[in-house]
């Protein structure tokens, strides 16, 4: 009760002083979906051998470390999740941001199946395909997650050692 009275008084004080009362920051509600989660890299990107992305938001090419402030690029149908949408995938302990398009995801979304494709790395070594296949599965994905979830910044595919992340 005291806090509501204080807020009301502050609002009146601001109006008297000629300023508008501050608005509370709007935070989108998080939602958890079960999604088919695949991975892609430079070797199976379109065009192949590149890290080009369709909807640059914070990266000019696919990338990221998996933190909230530097999420890894992911792809899907832009009508399923809008470019710039952040998600958290607990299986990989990483944040991702929608910055790319995925033909299989678009087809799946048209039939009602949730599908996102996570960036695995900028490698043309064929071992990345085995890594992508190893980590592909259906899992829980949080859309509009909190910014303080557990993160592991180990690369999904280490381009120097050609080793795949093991959750």
Mean pLDDT per block of 10 residues along the chain (167 residues) reads 42 42 58 98 90 96 98 98 98 98 97 98 94 98 98 96 95
pLDDT for 25: 47
For the whole model, what pTM was predicted? 0.82
Buried b (16+ CB within 10 A) or exposed e, 8-46: eeeeeeeeeeeeeeeeeeeeeeeeeeebbbbbbbbbbbe
pLDDT for 141: 98
Structure token digits, residue 12: 């009146």
pLDDT for 18: 46
Structure token digits, residue 163: 């080793």
pLDDT for 163: 96
pLDDT for 49: 87
pLDDT for 27: 55
Rounded (to 5) percent helix, strand, coil in the chain: 20, 30, 50
pLDDT for 35: 98
CATH of domain 31-147: 2.40.40
- For residue 90, the surrounding DSSP H or E stretch is none
């Amino acid at each position: 009760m005291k806090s509501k009275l204080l807020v009301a008084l502050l609002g009146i004080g601001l109006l008297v002083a000629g300023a508008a009362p501050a608005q509370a920051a709007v935070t989108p509600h998080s939602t958890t979906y079960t999604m088919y989660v695949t991975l892609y890299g430079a070797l199976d990107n379109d065009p192949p051998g590149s890290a080009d992305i369709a909807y640059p938001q914070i990266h000019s090419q696919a990338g990221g470390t998996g933190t909230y402030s530097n999420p890894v690029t992911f792809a899907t149908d832009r009508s399923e999740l809008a470019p710039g949408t952040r998600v958290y995938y607990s299986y990989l302990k990483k944040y991702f941001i929608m910055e790319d398009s995925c033909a299989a995801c678009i087809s799946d979304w048209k039939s009602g199946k949730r599908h996102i494709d996570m960036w695995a790395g900028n490698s043309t070594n064929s071992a990345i395909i085995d890594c992508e296949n190893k980590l592909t599965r259906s899992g829980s994905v949080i859309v509009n997650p909190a910014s303080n979830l557990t993160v592991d910044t180990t690369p999904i595919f280490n381009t120097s050692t050609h080793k795949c992340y093991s959750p």
